[in-house]
Structure 1
Amino acid sequence: MRSSLRAVARLLLLAAWTVLLAPLQIVALLLGLGLAERIPMLYHRVFCRVIGLDVVKRGTVSKDRPTLFVGNHISYLDITVLGSLLPASFITKAEVASWPLFGILAKMQRSVFVERRALFAAQHRDIVKRRLEAGDNLVLFPEGTSNDGCRVLPFKSALFSVAEGEIGGKPLTVQPLSIAYLGPESRPAGAEWRRQYAYFGDDVLVPHLWHVLGLGRATVEIRFHPAVAVQSMASRKALSDFCYEVVAAGLADSLGA
């Protein structure tokens, strides 16, 4: 059951937590400290706990540096959920930079912001390539948008152009992952229940976040599938299709479909 009192309490806790850790992250970024990669993970873990999301990890996270993680996209909450598990930055649409709270968090996590209409542009591919060559793990949502969390939309193979060629003299490691929003204690939940956490279509950020803050507990299951080397795929399209099939099957397993 949703509670406005719960929403207020959580909002205050998140504000305090952000004020506490943001200065540390800014200093770590300015000084080029390794902590700049770890502080966001700590921040997101507490963030998830405060808003009532229990994150369950299945499978093994790739230890290769860099790794390009690719998965389905349901909500802005995906960023804080994955951020609690991965030392990685996100490839995200430019408008996220101006969002309340999440825009600040994205910047402090060194996200790569790209224009929606220029996702495939050469200059953006070059930026992503440079980050990968620097050894940075990145997260890509190849659907190009979010959805209701009940299915996986077709992957846009053009987005996998960043995986072409070698990075640091070796093929890039790509790891597919599946994100599923479940009921408390991983219990199955209906589509209407999952819809409360999904952010897509005409949803507006602030009202949606306010609604989520008032909800009870939920489980988010992240399935990390076996990583694949790009060189093992015949083409970019083959890599895209392979990742799509793996991610879609993982979501279906989590939802019990």
Structure 2
Amino acid sequence: MINWLRVTVCMIALITATLVLAPIQIVLLWLDVSPRRRLPRLWHRIACRLVGIRVHVHGKPDSQRPLMLVSNHASWKDILVLGSIADVAFVAKSDVKAWPVFGLLARLQKTIFIDREQKRTTGNQVNEIGKRLADGEIVVLFPEGTTSDGNRLLEIKTSLFGAAAAAVPLSPTGAVHVQPVAIAYTGIHGMPMGRYHRPIAAWPGDIPLAPHLLGILYEGAVDVDVIFGEQITYMADSNRKVVSRQVEKSIRSMLSLKLRGR
């Protein structure tokens, strides 16, 4: 009974925060001023606090620009987690646009939507990511293309690393900085979260969103570690596949160590 009361209070508080901040963000987007990048971080921090996600940060986003963060992807909660740490723009599948509530929130954060099925528009989408990078925005890429069970890194798709190449000619320094990031869900109610319990935090995608969200709210105490790796400089002569393998190796290593409690 107490847990369900908490769920109700959290939902009301989150809806209230959204109704207060959303109109402000709409105006900031219309004016296209820099606070539009910062306001979503406040919302993400509020959401993490209300949902019960405790974020532990190791390292920090690289200070050099343009900067692309490349992360593993275990759950919709990854958006809240990374969004609470830095002023970032996400790359998401185009069908997220149509999701109830989440689609609206994604548009308010000026998410870059891509349609992997429409090969004819891939170049334009990659160029959009490149332009946003060159404009100084930190763009987050989830190169697995889908969510995992939180226990491993899926195969990385190299195609969207072309966005880094697209940003190189627009960069004042002729380089784009690609930084690997590992997101590891490591605890629940202050206790270590093993492989058996990690599905509580992870959202592989075949589970309906609403029950999963309610389950997280019901638990109310999930610990997540975010590890920032060493940036890799992407130049005009860099090989996309080589860079993607370096990123994959770094994320896999950081994720594995943190899941083993190191």
Q: TM-score when scaled to structure 2?
A: 0.91
- The residue aligned with 1:140 is 141
> Percent of pairs identical after alignment?
35
| Aligned counterpart for 2:251 among listed residues 244, 247, 252 | 247
Displacement after TM superposition at 1:116 (Å): 3.5
Report Cα offsets for 1:13-41 as digits up to 9, x if no partner.
Answer: 11011111111111111122221111111
Whether the 8 Å contact between 2:130 and 2:165 is mirrored in structure 1 is no
Q: Which residue of 2 aligns with 1:62?
A: 62
Tell me the residue number matched to 1:23. 23
**Matching residue of 1:164:** 165
Cα distance, 1:174 vs structure 2:
0.6
Between the aligned partners of 2:248 and 2:237, the Cα distance in structure 1 is 14
- What residue is the counterpart of 1:46 in the other structure? 46
Supply the distance in 2 between the matched residues of 1:232 and 1:130 (Cα, whole angstroms): 16
- Deviation, 1:2, is 9.4
Q: Which runs of 5+ in 2 are unaligned?
A: none
Task: Quote the residue 1:84 is aligned against.
Answer: 84
CA distance in 2, matches of 1:37, 1:121: 25
1:66, CA displacement in angstroms? 2.2
- Aligned pairs for 1:2-13 (under 5 A) are 3-13=3-13
Distance 1:194 1:223 in 2: 18
Equivalent residue runs for 1:98-109 within 5 Å = 98-109=98-109
> CA contact under 8 A between 1:188 and 1:256: conserved in structure 2?
no
Which residue matches 2:210? 206
User: C-alpha separation between the residues in 2 aligned to 1:246 and 1:2?
Assistant: 42
- Report the Cα distance in structure 2 between the residues aligned to 1:185 and 1:230, rounded to whole angstroms: 41
CA 1:114–1:234 in structure 2 vs 1: closer, same or farther (change >3 Å)? Answer: closer
| Cα distance, 1:227–1:94 mapped onto 2, change above 3 Å | same
Deviation for aligned residue 1:212: 1.5
Judging changes above 3 Å, is the alpha-carbon distance between structure 1 residues 247 and 38 closer, same or farther for their aligned structure 2 residues?
same
Stretch of structure 1 that moved more, 3-12 or 115-124 = 115-124
Partner of 1:75: 75
Alignment-derived partner of residue 225 in structure 2: 221
Q: Please state how far the C-alpha of 1:70 moved relative to its aligned partner.
A: 0.2
Structure 1 residue matching 2:97: 3-state secondary structure: helix
1:99 & 1:230 partners in 2: Cα distance? 34
Q: How many residues align?
A: 257
Q: Which secondary structure does the structure 2 equivalent of 1:113 belong to?
A: strand
2: CA distance, partners of 1:232 / 1:55: 36
CA distance in 2, matches of 1:222, 1:187: 18
Amino acid at match of 2:91: I
Q: 1:203 to 1:233 in 2, by over 3 A?
A: farther
Contact 2:66-2:171 within 8 A present in 1 as well? no
Residue 197 of structure 1 is matched in structure 2 by 201
Instruction: Spell out, residue by residue over 1:217-247, the C-alpha distance to the aligned partner (whole angstroms, 9 max, x if none).
Output: 0111100011110139851111100000100
User: What is the CA–CA distance in structure 2 between the aligned matches of 1:117 and 1:150, rounded to whole Å?
Assistant: 28
Give me the CA root mean square deviation.
2.1
Deviations 1:124-147 (A, max 9, x none): 112212222222210000111111
Aligned counterpart, 1:35 = 35
Q: Secondary structure at the match of 2:197?
A: helix
Deviation larger for 39-48 or 164-173: 164-173
> Residue 239 of structure 2 corresponds to which residue in structure 1?
235
Cα 1:232–1:56, aligned 2, differ >3 Å: closer, same or farther?
A: farther
**Which letter maps to 2:104?**
I
Structure 1 residue 65, shift from structure 2 partner: 2.5
1:128 alignment counterpart: 129
